[in-house]
Amino acid sequence: MALSTPPRALHRAWPGWRHLPRDSRDTLFQLAVIGWTILPHYAHLAPWCMALTALMLFWRAHLAVTNAPLPSRWAVAGVLMVAAALTLWSERTLFGKEAGVTMLVVLMALKTLELRARRDAMVVFFLGFFLVLTNFLYSQSLATAVAMLLSVWGLLTALVLAHMPVGKPPLRQAGALAARAAALGAPLMVALFLLFPRIGPLWGMPQDAAGKTGLSGTMQMGAMAEIANDDEVAFRIRFDGRVPPPEAMYFRGPVLTRFDGREWTRQPGANTMTPRLRSELQLLGQPLRYEMTLEPSRLALLPLLELTPDRSDAAPQLEGINAWLRGDLQWQTERPVAERLRFQASAWPMHRHGPRQMTLALREHVALPPDHNPRTLEWAAALRRRTDLAQADPRTLVAAVLRHLRDGDYLYTLEPGSYGKNAVDEFWFDRKLGFCEHFAASLVVVLRAMDVPSRVVTGYQGTDPTPVDGYYIVRQSNAHAWAEYWQPGEGWVRVDPTATVSPNRIIRGASLLPRQGLMAGALGSVSPQLLARVRSALELANNRWNQWVMNYSRGQQFKLLQSLGVQAPTWQDLALALISLLCAGSLAAAGWALWDRHRQDPWQRLQRRIQQRLALLKVPVQPHEPPRTRAQRVRQHLGLAGEALALELEALDRSRYGQSGRPGLARGWWKRFAALAAATGGR
C-alpha cells in the first residue's frame, strides 16, 4: 500500500486522468502521441537528442498538469540554439538525413513548449506527420507500419479534439471520428497507391549514399565493419529449380585491382566486355534460373549471382534502367539504383573466365605499392625460396598460404580495431585478427609478392538460412570480400580465405547469430515447436508485406494494368487510369450531392408517413400538427382501440421535444408504430 502511494507533491498536482481539466488532458494526450512517434528513433539518434527531447516532453507534461505558464520565447529560442550546436557537433552538419531527423525531433519537442495559438497546434500536427514519415527512412517493416498507423490515428484524434471546442469530449469519441474520416479516405489512398506512377528520385542525395554499403567500388581495411552489423535487406532471391548450397552463393560486386597501400580501387580500363574477354568466358554445366528483388542500393551496380552472363536468354530484363556486364564480370548500371528492381536472370555456377595464357594485361595484377608492408614482401620471398614452392604453380602457392592461415592462430572477428600504414604486415605478423576484407586483401598482397596475378572481389555471400515463401533474404551483413588468382590454363580462380579461418561464415552464410528477444527466449524454453511456428508465421506475414506493399513498384503497376487489359502499359497509362478513377469518384460524389439536395429531413418524412398511415385508419391529421396533437386525434377517433398508438405518438413527441429526450428513439420507432397501426386497422 505504501509503495503504491505516489509522493505527496505529485499527488497534489495529479487530480486523476478523469478529473483533469480539458486543456491539460488534451495536451497530455498530444504529448503521448508525439512521444510514441519519436520513440522508434531511439535506435539511431544521438543520445543527447533523445535525452533533450524526453526532458522537454516531460517538462511540458508537468506544465500541463500543474497549469503553469509556458516558458518565454527567449528560453525556447535558447534551447533551439543549443540543439543546433549539438547537432553540428555530433553530425558535423546541419543538412542530410541524420542531422535533419535530429533537428526535426528537437523542433517537434520545442514546438510543444509554445502551443499558444491554433496556428501553433497545426504546426505541431504537420511536424508530427512528417516525423512519422522519417521513421520509414529507417524501417518499413510490418511492425513499424502498425506502430506508425497508431501514431497517425493519435495525431488525427488530437486534430479532431482541437476542433471540438465545446465541453470536454471523450477521447474515445474523438478517436472514433478520426478513424471514420481515415476509413472514408482509405479507398482514395488505395487508388493512389496502386496507380500513382512510381518515378525515380527527383534529385540525388549524395550524402546518404556513402557508407550505406561497402560495395562502393573502393575498399579500405575496416570500412566494411560497420555494415557487417547492418541487418537491412539488400535483396531477395528465389530459385526456379534447384537451390544451390549457401556456400556456393557468391554475388559479384566491384572487382578491385589497384592498391596504393591504403585503398583498393577498380581497374579503369575494364568498363566493357571486349570480344576477346567474351571468347574467354566459358559456361559449364546447367544454369540456375532465379528471380531477384533488389532494394534501392544507391550504387551503380547489380550484385548478380556468379556468373550471370550477358547472353539475351540469361541477362536480367530491366525496366527504366540500363545495365551491362563489365570486363571484370561485374554488372554495371548507368546510374545509381534508387528504385526497387525485380527481374529474372540465369547464372552458371560452373564457369571459366580470364586468359588461359599469360598476357601483358595480367602484369597489372601483380603490382604492389613500394614502401609498404616490407615484412610481407620478405615473407613471400622466403616462401618462394622454399624448395617445395620454388617452381610451384599458383594453386600450390595459394594452398601453402591458406595452410599458414589455418594453422597460424588467425582469428575471425568483426571488431579487429584499426590498422596502421603497413596494415598487411600487422595482419600477418602482429594482430592476426580481421574479417573478410582483411583476409582477402592480405592474401592478394602476399600472392602478388610471389608474382601470382590476383585481385580482390567484393560482393555478397550467402543468405538467411531459411527461405520465406520461397525467397532467400540477403542482407547488408552478408557483404563479403574474397580473392581471385590466375591459374595458367584455367584463368581466374576464386579463393575465399575467410572460409579457411571461419567456415561458419561461409557455410551458414550468416555473419551474426540471430538475436533472441526476451519473449522469444521464454517461449523457446517452454515450447520450441510453438516458437518455431510463431516465428514462421511472422516471417510469412512479413514477407507478404514485403512483396505486396514494400516492393510494390512500377513493374507491379504495369502488371496490374496488363491484367486489366492494357497492352504494353506506360506511365502515361497509369496517370490516365488514376485521373479517370478520380474523375469517376468526383462524378459519383456530385451525383450523390444532387440526390442529397432533394432528400427530405427524416423527421418531416416520418411525420408525412404517420399522417398517411393515420389517414388509412380514418384519423384526419394536419401536416403541421406535432405528434402529441396527433395522439389526441387518435384518442378522439379511435377511443380505447387507439390507446397504444397514442402512447407511441406521445413517446415520440417526448423524445423530440422533451427535456430529457433520447435522440435515438426515432430509429426503431416507425417499425413498432407501423405494426401497431396494422393491428389496429385489422381489428
Partner 1 sequence: MVWPKDVPSAPRSGSAQTGLRGRFRHWWLARHPVTDTWTLNQHNIYILPTRGGWAFGLTLLVMLVSSINYQLNLGYVLTFLLAGSGLVSIHLTHGTLRGLTLHLRPATPVFAGEPALLEVVMSNPGGARHGIGLRFQERPHDPRDAWCDVPEQGQASASLSMVPTSRGWHPVPALLVETRFPFGLFRAWTHWRPASPVLAYPRPEQPTPPLPLAQSAPGGAPQARQGQGSELDGVRAWRRGDGLRQVVWKKAARSGQLVSRETTAESSRELWLEWQATQGAHSAGAEGRLSRLTAWVLAAEQQGLVYGLRLPSQQFAPDRGDAHQRRLLRELALWH
What character string, x for contact with partner 1 (CB under 8 A) and - otherwise, covers 349-388? ----------------------------------------
DSSP 8-state secondary structure symbol assigned to residue 197: P
653 is catalytic: no
496 is catalytic: yes
CB of 14: closest distance to partner 1 in angstroms? 28
- Among the options 425, 464, 496, 573, which is catalytic? 496
Kindly identify the residues of this chain, within the stretch 104-123, that bind partner 1 according to CB under 8 A: 118-119, 122-123
CB of 302: closest distance to partner 1 in angstroms? 16
Instruction: State how far the Cα of 62 lies from the Cα of 53, in Å rounded to an integer.
Output: 14
If the CB atoms of residues 3 and 166 are measured against partner 1, the closer one turns out to be 166
Q: Is 166 in the site for partner 1 (CB under 8 A)?
A: yes
Q: Is 188 in the site for partner 1 (CB under 8 A)?
A: yes
Tell me how far apart the 2 most distant CA atoms of the chain are, in Å. Answer: 131
Q: Do 278 and 352 form a contact (C-beta atoms < 8 A)? A: no
The number of residues that bind partner 1 (CB under 8 A) is 66
Q: Which stretch binds partner 1 (CB under 8 A): 130-138, 226-234, 276-284, 498-506?
A: 130-138
DSSP string of 522-585, one letter each residue: HHHHH-HHHHHHHHHHHHHHHHHHIIIIIT--HHHHHHHHHHTT-SS--HHHHHHHHHHHHHHH
Q: Which CA distances in Å does 663 have to 607, 623, 631, 668?
A: 16, 22, 20, 12
CB of 300: closest distance to partner 1 in angstroms? 16
Give 219's Cβ-side CA count (13 Å radius): 31
Q: Which stretch binds partner 1 (CB under 8 A): 124-132, 423-431, 446-454, 631-639?
A: 124-132
Any idea of the CA torsion for 92, 140, 305, 506, to the nearest 10 degrees? Answer: 80
Q: Is 568 in the site for partner 1 (CB under 8 A)?
A: no
Instruction: State how far the Cα of 32 lies from the Cα of 39, in Å rounded to an integer.
Output: 10
- Among the options 436, 438, 464, 573, which is catalytic? 436
Task: Kindly tell me which residue out of 338, 361, 362, 560 binds partner 1, with binding defined by CB under 8 A.
Answer: 338
Contact partners, residue 87, CB within 8 Å, separation at least 6: 49, 94, 99, 102, 103, 106
Q: Do 145 and 85 form a contact (C-beta atoms < 8 A)? A: no
What character string, x for contact with partner 1 (CB under 8 A) and - otherwise, covers 267-306? -----------------------------x----------
If the CB atoms of residues 567 and 659 are measured against partner 1, the closer one turns out to be 659
- Residue that is written with C-alpha cell 550477358 in the block: 310
Task: Kindly tell me which residue out of 113, 178, 397, 499 binds partner 1, with binding defined by CB under 8 A.
Answer: 178
Instruction: State how far the Cα of 434 lies from the Cα of 428, in Å rounded to an integer.
Output: 10
DSSP string of 236-287, one letter each residue: EEEESSPPPPGGG-EEEEEEEEEE-SSEEEE-TT-SS--HHHHHH-EEES--
Q: Is 146 in the site for partner 1 (CB under 8 A)?
A: no
**Strand ranges inside 155-241, DSSP E:** 218-220, 233-239
Looking at this protein, which amino acid is placed at residue 117?
Answer: A
If the CB atoms of residues 192 and 679 are measured against partner 1, the closer one turns out to be 192
464 is catalytic: no
Q: Is 668 in the site for partner 1 (CB under 8 A)?
A: no
If the CB atoms of residues 169 and 524 are measured against partner 1, the closer one turns out to be 169
Contact partners, residue 378, CB within 8 Å, separation at least 6: none
Binding site for partner 1 (CB under 8 A): 118-119, 122-123, 126, 129-130, 132-133, 136-137, 140, 144-145, 148, 152, 156, 159-160, 162-167, 169, 177-178, 181-182, 184-189, 192-193, 196, 199-203, 205, 296, 338-340, 549-552, 589, 593, 596-597, 601-604, 656, 661, 663-664, 666
Active site residue ranges: 436, 480, 496
